[in-house]
Amino acid sequence: MSGVRGRYAPSPTGPLHLGNARTALLAWLDARARGGVFVMRIEDVDFTRARPEYEAQLLLDLRWLGLDWDEGPDVGGAFGPYRQSERGDRYAAALARLDAYPCTCTRRELRALPVTSMTGEPVYPGTCRNGQTRPGRAPALRWRVPPGRVGFVDRLCGEHHQDIARDVGDFVLRRGDGAWAYQLAVVVDDADMAITDIVRGADLLDSTPRQLHLLRALYPAVPVPRFAHVPLILGAGGAKLSKRDGAPDLGALREAGASPARVVAALARSVGLVPPDVRELRPSELLTAVSPADPLARLTSRPLDLGGL
Ligand code: GLU
Protein backbone atom coordinates (compact mmCIF):
# COMPACT_ATOMS: atom_id res chain seq x y z
CA MET A 1 0.00 0.00 0.00
CA SER A 2 1.21 3.48 -0.90
CA GLY A 3 -0.34 5.28 2.04
CA VAL A 4 -2.72 7.09 -0.30
CA ARG A 5 -6.28 7.19 1.00
CA GLY A 6 -8.76 8.69 -1.43
CA ARG A 7 -12.50 8.97 -1.17
CA TYR A 8 -15.71 9.73 -2.99
CA ALA A 9 -18.33 11.42 -0.86
CA PRO A 10 -21.68 11.63 -2.63
CA SER A 11 -24.79 13.24 -1.19
CA PRO A 12 -27.75 10.90 -1.71
CA THR A 13 -30.15 13.70 -2.58
CA GLY A 14 -31.10 12.60 -6.09
CA PRO A 15 -30.11 10.28 -8.90
CA LEU A 16 -26.42 10.18 -9.75
CA HIS A 17 -25.85 12.20 -12.90
CA LEU A 18 -23.02 11.80 -15.37
CA GLY A 19 -21.04 14.63 -13.78
CA ASN A 20 -21.10 12.85 -10.41
CA ALA A 21 -20.15 9.59 -12.11
CA ARG A 22 -17.16 11.21 -13.80
CA THR A 23 -15.95 12.72 -10.53
CA ALA A 24 -16.33 9.31 -8.87
CA LEU A 25 -14.38 7.67 -11.70
CA LEU A 26 -11.56 10.21 -11.35
CA ALA A 27 -11.40 9.90 -7.55
CA TRP A 28 -11.30 6.11 -7.91
CA LEU A 29 -8.64 6.31 -10.64
CA ASP A 30 -6.45 8.64 -8.60
CA ALA A 31 -6.50 6.36 -5.56
CA ARG A 32 -6.23 3.07 -7.44
CA ALA A 33 -3.54 4.05 -9.95
CA ARG A 34 -1.36 5.16 -7.02
CA GLY A 35 -1.90 1.91 -5.18
CA GLY A 36 -4.08 3.55 -2.55
CA VAL A 37 -7.18 2.75 -0.57
CA PHE A 38 -10.52 4.04 -1.85
CA VAL A 39 -13.23 5.02 0.61
CA MET A 40 -16.93 5.54 -0.09
CA ARG A 41 -18.58 7.96 2.31
CA ILE A 42 -22.24 8.87 2.20
CA GLU A 43 -22.82 12.55 2.92
CA ASP A 44 -26.40 12.36 4.12
CA VAL A 45 -25.94 15.08 6.69
CA ASP A 46 -28.80 17.14 5.30
CA PHE A 47 -31.71 15.07 6.54
CA THR A 48 -34.22 17.26 4.73
CA ARG A 49 -32.83 16.16 1.34
CA ALA A 50 -31.01 12.83 1.75
CA ARG A 51 -32.91 9.59 1.08
CA PRO A 52 -31.77 5.99 1.76
CA GLU A 53 -33.18 4.91 -1.60
CA TYR A 54 -30.85 7.35 -3.39
CA GLU A 55 -27.93 5.92 -1.43
CA ALA A 56 -28.81 2.36 -2.44
CA GLN A 57 -29.23 3.45 -6.04
CA LEU A 58 -25.97 5.35 -6.27
CA LEU A 59 -23.92 2.50 -4.80
CA LEU A 60 -25.53 0.16 -7.33
CA ASP A 61 -24.87 2.61 -10.17
CA LEU A 62 -21.20 3.04 -9.24
CA ARG A 63 -20.65 -0.70 -9.05
CA TRP A 64 -22.41 -1.12 -12.37
CA LEU A 65 -19.87 1.31 -13.85
CA GLY A 66 -17.08 -0.94 -12.58
CA LEU A 67 -15.89 1.00 -9.54
CA ASP A 68 -15.09 -0.66 -6.24
CA TRP A 69 -14.12 0.56 -2.79
CA ASP A 70 -12.24 -0.87 0.18
CA GLU A 71 -14.27 0.86 2.87
CA GLY A 72 -17.81 2.13 2.85
CA PRO A 73 -21.28 1.80 4.32
CA ASP A 74 -21.90 -1.49 2.53
CA VAL A 75 -18.46 -3.07 3.07
CA GLY A 76 -17.44 -1.73 6.48
CA GLY A 77 -13.90 -0.77 7.43
CA ALA A 78 -11.82 0.41 10.36
CA PHE A 79 -12.72 4.09 10.02
CA GLY A 80 -16.53 3.81 10.06
CA PRO A 81 -19.31 4.54 10.29
CA TYR A 82 -19.29 5.69 6.67
CA ARG A 83 -22.61 7.53 6.73
CA GLN A 84 -22.61 11.06 8.07
CA SER A 85 -26.03 10.51 9.62
CA GLU A 86 -24.31 8.05 11.99
CA ARG A 87 -21.43 10.35 12.92
CA GLY A 88 -23.24 13.11 14.83
CA ASP A 89 -21.32 12.44 18.07
CA ARG A 90 -18.06 13.23 16.28
CA TYR A 91 -19.40 16.51 14.88
CA ALA A 92 -20.72 17.44 18.34
CA ALA A 93 -17.28 16.76 19.88
CA ALA A 94 -15.64 18.94 17.22
CA LEU A 95 -18.19 21.71 17.67
CA ALA A 96 -17.53 21.74 21.42
CA ARG A 97 -13.90 22.65 20.69
CA LEU A 98 -14.78 25.63 18.47
CA ASP A 99 -15.85 29.12 19.43
CA ALA A 100 -19.40 29.13 18.04
CA TYR A 101 -22.34 31.43 18.69
CA PRO A 102 -26.08 31.23 18.04
CA CYS A 103 -27.49 33.06 15.02
CA THR A 104 -31.16 33.75 14.41
CA CYS A 105 -30.86 35.60 11.10
CA THR A 106 -33.58 34.44 8.73
CA ARG A 107 -32.92 33.00 5.32
CA ARG A 108 -34.59 36.05 3.80
CA GLU A 109 -32.27 38.41 5.71
CA LEU A 110 -29.25 36.45 4.59
CA ARG A 111 -30.41 36.36 1.00
CA ALA A 112 -30.77 40.15 1.00
CA LEU A 113 -27.04 40.63 1.77
CA PRO A 114 -24.84 41.75 -1.12
CA VAL A 115 -23.00 38.93 -2.87
CA THR A 116 -19.20 39.07 -3.01
CA SER A 117 -17.21 38.22 -6.07
CA MET A 118 -14.90 35.89 -4.12
CA THR A 119 -17.26 33.02 -3.37
CA GLY A 120 -20.46 34.10 -5.10
CA GLU A 121 -22.12 34.15 -1.68
CA PRO A 122 -22.71 37.04 0.72
CA VAL A 123 -20.21 37.74 3.46
CA TYR A 124 -21.90 37.22 6.84
CA PRO A 125 -21.71 40.66 8.48
CA GLY A 126 -21.64 39.30 12.04
CA THR A 127 -25.19 40.40 12.91
CA CYS A 128 -25.55 37.93 15.81
CA ARG A 129 -21.90 37.97 16.86
CA ASN A 130 -22.52 39.90 20.06
CA GLY A 131 -25.33 37.79 21.40
CA GLN A 132 -28.25 39.81 20.00
CA THR A 133 -30.32 36.79 19.01
CA ARG A 134 -34.10 36.91 18.72
CA PRO A 135 -36.17 34.66 20.95
CA GLY A 136 -38.54 32.11 19.47
CA ARG A 137 -36.26 30.95 16.66
CA ALA A 138 -34.10 27.84 16.79
CA PRO A 139 -30.65 29.31 16.26
CA ALA A 140 -28.03 28.14 13.83
CA LEU A 141 -24.50 27.97 15.22
CA ARG A 142 -21.79 29.96 13.51
CA TRP A 143 -18.06 29.73 13.94
CA ARG A 144 -16.41 32.92 15.15
CA VAL A 145 -13.82 32.74 12.41
CA PRO A 146 -10.28 33.52 13.55
CA PRO A 147 -8.36 35.98 11.38
CA GLY A 148 -5.79 34.89 8.84
CA ARG A 149 -5.30 34.04 5.20
CA VAL A 150 -5.67 30.40 4.17
CA GLY A 151 -4.22 29.02 0.99
CA PHE A 152 -3.37 25.81 -0.78
CA VAL A 153 -2.06 24.65 -4.12
CA ASP A 154 -4.61 22.57 -5.96
CA ARG A 155 -3.19 19.81 -8.17
CA LEU A 156 -5.27 21.04 -11.10
CA CYS A 157 -6.37 24.59 -10.30
CA GLY A 158 -3.14 25.97 -8.83
CA GLU A 159 -2.94 28.39 -5.93
CA HIS A 160 -6.09 29.43 -4.14
CA HIS A 161 -6.23 31.83 -1.20
CA GLN A 162 -8.92 33.30 0.98
CA ASP A 163 -9.15 35.45 4.04
CA ILE A 164 -12.16 33.70 5.56
CA ALA A 165 -13.12 36.45 8.00
CA ARG A 166 -13.10 38.99 5.17
CA ASP A 167 -14.27 36.90 2.20
CA VAL A 168 -16.82 34.59 3.86
CA GLY A 169 -17.42 35.78 7.42
CA ASP A 170 -18.51 33.60 10.32
CA PHE A 171 -20.05 30.51 8.75
CA VAL A 172 -22.60 27.97 9.89
CA LEU A 173 -21.50 24.79 11.67
CA ARG A 174 -24.95 23.57 12.60
CA ARG A 175 -28.24 24.70 11.15
CA GLY A 176 -31.23 25.84 13.17
CA ASP A 177 -33.03 22.57 12.37
CA GLY A 178 -30.13 20.63 13.89
CA ALA A 179 -28.49 19.49 10.64
CA TRP A 180 -24.69 19.56 10.73
CA ALA A 181 -23.13 21.79 8.12
CA TYR A 182 -21.30 20.13 5.27
CA GLN A 183 -18.23 22.31 5.98
CA LEU A 184 -17.83 20.89 9.48
CA ALA A 185 -18.80 17.30 8.71
CA VAL A 186 -16.43 16.98 5.77
CA VAL A 187 -13.43 18.22 7.77
CA VAL A 188 -14.12 15.93 10.72
CA ASP A 189 -14.66 12.94 8.44
CA ASP A 190 -11.64 13.46 6.19
CA ALA A 191 -9.42 13.87 9.26
CA ASP A 192 -10.99 10.92 11.12
CA MET A 193 -10.77 8.68 8.08
CA ALA A 194 -7.12 9.67 7.47
CA ILE A 195 -7.88 10.82 3.94
CA THR A 196 -4.71 11.98 2.19
CA ASP A 197 -6.14 12.87 -1.24
CA ILE A 198 -9.37 14.63 -2.07
CA VAL A 199 -10.62 14.55 -5.64
CA ARG A 200 -13.92 16.37 -6.13
CA GLY A 201 -15.78 18.78 -8.38
CA ALA A 202 -14.44 22.27 -9.06
CA ASP A 203 -17.65 23.70 -7.61
CA LEU A 204 -16.14 22.99 -4.18
CA LEU A 205 -12.88 24.88 -4.79
CA ASP A 206 -14.20 27.91 -2.93
CA SER A 207 -15.17 25.81 0.10
CA THR A 208 -11.68 24.41 0.56
CA PRO A 209 -10.12 27.38 2.39
CA ARG A 210 -13.00 27.29 4.89
CA GLN A 211 -12.31 23.60 5.43
CA LEU A 212 -8.58 24.15 5.82
CA HIS A 213 -9.24 26.89 8.37
CA LEU A 214 -11.41 24.45 10.34
CA LEU A 215 -8.86 21.67 9.92
CA ARG A 216 -6.12 23.83 11.41
CA ALA A 217 -8.32 24.88 14.33
CA LEU A 218 -9.53 21.36 15.11
CA TYR A 219 -6.60 19.13 14.20
CA PRO A 220 -3.35 21.11 14.09
CA ALA A 221 -1.32 17.88 13.90
CA VAL A 222 -3.22 16.27 11.02
CA PRO A 223 -1.41 16.61 7.67
CA VAL A 224 -3.29 18.73 5.15
CA PRO A 225 -4.68 16.52 2.37
CA ARG A 226 -3.80 17.10 -1.27
CA PHE A 227 -6.67 18.45 -3.34
CA ALA A 228 -7.60 18.02 -6.99
CA HIS A 229 -10.74 19.89 -8.01
CA VAL A 230 -11.75 18.32 -11.28
CA PRO A 231 -13.60 20.17 -14.05
CA LEU A 232 -17.38 20.19 -14.10
CA ILE A 233 -18.81 18.19 -16.95
CA LEU A 234 -19.66 20.09 -20.12
CA GLY A 235 -22.60 19.50 -22.44
CA ALA A 236 -22.54 19.57 -26.23
CA GLY A 237 -22.57 23.39 -26.38
CA GLY A 238 -19.51 23.66 -24.12
CA ALA A 239 -21.58 24.97 -21.18
CA LYS A 240 -22.05 22.99 -17.98
CA LEU A 241 -24.02 19.84 -18.74
CA SER A 242 -27.63 20.29 -17.72
CA LYS A 243 -30.94 18.50 -18.03
CA ARG A 244 -31.57 20.53 -21.20
CA ASP A 245 -28.80 18.57 -22.90
CA GLY A 246 -31.00 15.54 -22.41
CA ALA A 247 -28.30 13.85 -20.31
CA PRO A 248 -29.87 10.86 -18.56
CA ASP A 249 -28.88 9.96 -15.03
CA LEU A 250 -26.88 6.82 -14.46
CA GLY A 251 -29.78 4.76 -13.13
CA ALA A 252 -31.88 5.59 -16.18
CA LEU A 253 -29.03 4.54 -18.46
CA ARG A 254 -28.57 1.28 -16.59
CA GLU A 255 -32.27 0.50 -16.67
CA ALA A 256 -32.41 1.31 -20.40
CA GLY A 257 -29.80 -1.40 -20.98
CA ALA A 258 -26.85 0.91 -21.74
CA SER A 259 -23.41 -0.64 -21.65
CA PRO A 260 -21.30 0.55 -18.69
CA ALA A 261 -18.16 0.28 -20.85
CA ARG A 262 -19.65 2.81 -23.27
CA VAL A 263 -20.55 5.18 -20.43
CA VAL A 264 -17.05 4.91 -18.95
CA ALA A 265 -15.51 5.53 -22.40
CA ALA A 266 -17.64 8.66 -22.90
CA LEU A 267 -16.66 9.95 -19.45
CA ALA A 268 -12.96 9.21 -20.02
CA ARG A 269 -13.02 10.87 -23.48
CA SER A 270 -14.58 13.99 -21.95
CA VAL A 271 -11.48 14.55 -19.81
CA GLY A 272 -9.02 13.54 -22.50
CA LEU A 273 -7.92 10.35 -20.73
CA VAL A 274 -8.44 8.30 -23.89
CA PRO A 275 -8.47 9.23 -27.60
CA PRO A 276 -11.79 10.18 -29.26
CA ASP A 277 -12.08 6.81 -31.03
CA VAL A 278 -12.24 4.76 -27.81
CA ARG A 279 -15.89 3.69 -27.54
CA GLU A 280 -15.72 1.02 -24.82
CA LEU A 281 -13.60 0.96 -21.71
CA ARG A 282 -13.54 -0.66 -18.30
CA PRO A 283 -12.31 1.52 -15.42
CA SER A 284 -9.51 -0.99 -14.78
CA GLU A 285 -8.17 -0.35 -18.30
CA LEU A 286 -7.56 3.27 -17.31
CA LEU A 287 -5.14 2.25 -14.58
CA THR A 288 -2.35 1.55 -17.03
CA ALA A 289 -3.20 4.53 -19.26
CA VAL A 290 -2.26 7.15 -16.65
CA SER A 291 0.92 8.11 -14.85
CA PRO A 292 1.07 6.30 -11.51
CA ALA A 293 2.80 9.33 -10.01
CA ASP A 294 0.01 11.71 -10.97
CA PRO A 295 -2.96 10.01 -12.62
CA LEU A 296 -4.82 13.30 -13.11
CA ALA A 297 -1.90 15.25 -14.56
CA ARG A 298 -3.12 15.39 -18.15
CA LEU A 299 -6.80 16.03 -17.55
CA THR A 300 -8.52 18.29 -20.07
CA SER A 301 -12.17 19.22 -20.37
CA ARG A 302 -14.22 18.81 -23.50
CA PRO A 303 -17.96 18.47 -24.12
CA LEU A 304 -19.42 15.10 -23.25
CA ASP A 305 -20.22 13.16 -26.40
CA LEU A 306 -23.17 10.94 -25.61
CA GLY A 307 -23.33 9.46 -29.10
CA GLY A 308 -23.50 5.70 -29.08
CA LEU A 309 -24.51 5.24 -25.46
N1 GLU B 1 -21.04 15.61 -0.72
C2 GLU B 1 -20.51 16.58 -1.65
C3 GLU B 1 -21.28 16.52 -2.94
O4 GLU B 1 -21.89 15.51 -3.23
C5 GLU B 1 -19.06 16.34 -1.97
C6 GLU B 1 -18.23 16.70 -0.84
C7 GLU B 1 -16.75 16.51 -1.04
O8 GLU B 1 -16.32 15.76 -1.92
O9 GLU B 1 -16.03 17.12 -0.27
O10 GLU B 1 -21.26 17.49 -3.66
Q: Indicate whether 207 belongs to any domain.
A: no
Angle between helices 52-65 and 18-33 (to 10 degrees): 60
Distance 277 CA to ligand 1 centre (A): 32
| Protein residues whose CB sits closer than 6 Å to any atom of ligand 1 | 9-11, 43, 186, 200, 204
Between the alpha carbon of residue 166 and those of residues 23, 33, 189, 208, the distances in Å are 31, 39, 26, 15
124 and 150 within one domain: yes
Please indicate, yes or no, whether residues 112 and 176 belong to a single structural domain of this protein: yes
Residue 262 among known ligand-binding residues: no
Q: What is the pLDDT along the chain (309 residues), one digit of tens a residue?
A: 689 999 999 999 999 999 999 999 999 999 999 999 999 999 999 999 999 999 999 999 999 999 999 999 999 999 999 999 999 999 999 999 999 999 999 989 998 888 876 778 889 999 999 988 888 889 999 999 999 999 999 999 999 999 999 999 999 999 999 999 999 999 999 999 999 999 999 999 999 999 999 999 999 999 999 999 999 998 877 788 776 677 789 999 999 999 999 999 999 999 999 999 999 999 999 999 999 999 999 899 999 988 777
Q: To test ligand 1's pocket by mutation, which of 25, 43, 58, 195 has the most ligand atoms within 8 angstroms of CB?
A: 43
Do 160 and 130 share a structural domain? yes
* Angle subtended at Cα 171 by Cα 197 and Cα 97, rounded to the nearest 5 degrees: 75
DSSP strand pairing (37-40 vs 149-154): unpaired
Tell me which of 151, 183, 215 is where a domain ends.
Answer: 183
Are residues 133 and 169 both part of a single domain? yes
Q: How many domains does the chain have?
A: 2
Whether 298 contacts 286, CB under 8 Å: no
CB 266 within 8 A of CB 283: no
- For position 72, which CATH number holds? 3.40.50.620
Of 135, 112, 139, residue with least CA distance to 125: 112
Assess contact for 55 and 42: CB atoms under 8 A: yes
Q: Is 105 annotated as a binding residue?
A: yes
Residues 123 and 175 in one domain: yes
Domain around 273:
5-77+231-289
> What spacing in Å lies between the alpha carbon of 43 and ligand 1's midpoint?
7
Cβ burial, residue 197 (10 Å; 0-12/13-18/19+): buried
Ligand 1 atom 7 nearest Cα: 9
What is the per-residue pLDDT for 117? 64
Q: What is the pLDDT of residue 239?
A: 80
Tell me if 217 is assigned to some domain. no
Contact 15, 207 (CB under 8 A): no
> Is residue 100 located within the same domain as residue 168?
yes
Q: Which position among 137, 144, 243, 302 bears the catalytic label?
A: 243
What's the pTM value of the predicted model, to 2 decimals? 0.96
CA of 269 to the centre of ligand 1 (A): 23
Note if 240 is an active site residue: no
